[in-house]
Amino acid sequence: MLVVNGSDVPEGGCLWDKEFKESFADDYFSTRWFLQRHYDLTGSNGIKGVREIVNEDSISTKNIFEEFSQNLSRFMLPYLEKFDADLLVLGGNIAKAHALFLPKLKEYWEQKNCTVATNIIENTEEASIIGSSYLFNEEFWKSVKKELPTR
């Protein structure tokens, strides 16, 4: 069941559109953020995706993922605590690089006495298709369409 409303749920049931630092979460947890940070640190703009940054295995790669871990930790922690989450499921292409950020992320959370279990979704494309198919269920769609953010 999708939980979209409640005192312990972010408005709209989503996090991508919530404020973080000077912008919104989506601006800090997306491929474009990785590409911009890589450019900021290296001056190289020939990188087209996170996989290329990972494959570089450089000091810049380590610094970028360290910053990503810090950002994700700071952003997610209040939501995880408020929702009293038992499990955080990570998917998307970034989940393929979880070895570069997940240990540090958990370390940050443990320092704040937060021990949320994490699960990595390996086949994100399949999970996305299954999740999206729920939008074609008329009852489900009616129950959530007015609550979802449109930004």
Give the whole-angstrom CA distance, residue 140 versus residue 136.
8
Mean pLDDT of 53-82: 94
Helix (H) or strand (E) holding 79, with range, is: helix 59-83
The predicted pLDDT at position 137 comes to 80
Q: What is the pTM of this model?
A: 0.82
Using an 8 Å Cβ cutoff, are 35 and 64 in contact? Answer: no
Distances (CA, A) of 46 to 41, 42, 50, 69, 81: 13, 11, 12, 24, 39
Using an 8 Å Cβ cutoff, are 49 and 15 in contact? Answer: no
Burial of 81 (0-12, 13-18, 19+ CB in 10 A): middle
Mean pLDDT of 64-81: 95
Average pLDDT, rounded, for the chain? 87
* Residue count (the chain): 151
Q: Count Cβ atoms below 10 Å from residue 150 Cβ, excluding itself.
A: 5
Mean pLDDT of 114-133: 83
The predicted pLDDT at position 42 comes to 94
Mean pLDDT of 56-71: 95
Q: Which of 8-22, 61-75, 134-148 has the weakest average pLDDT?
A: 134-148
The predicted pLDDT at position 45 comes to 84
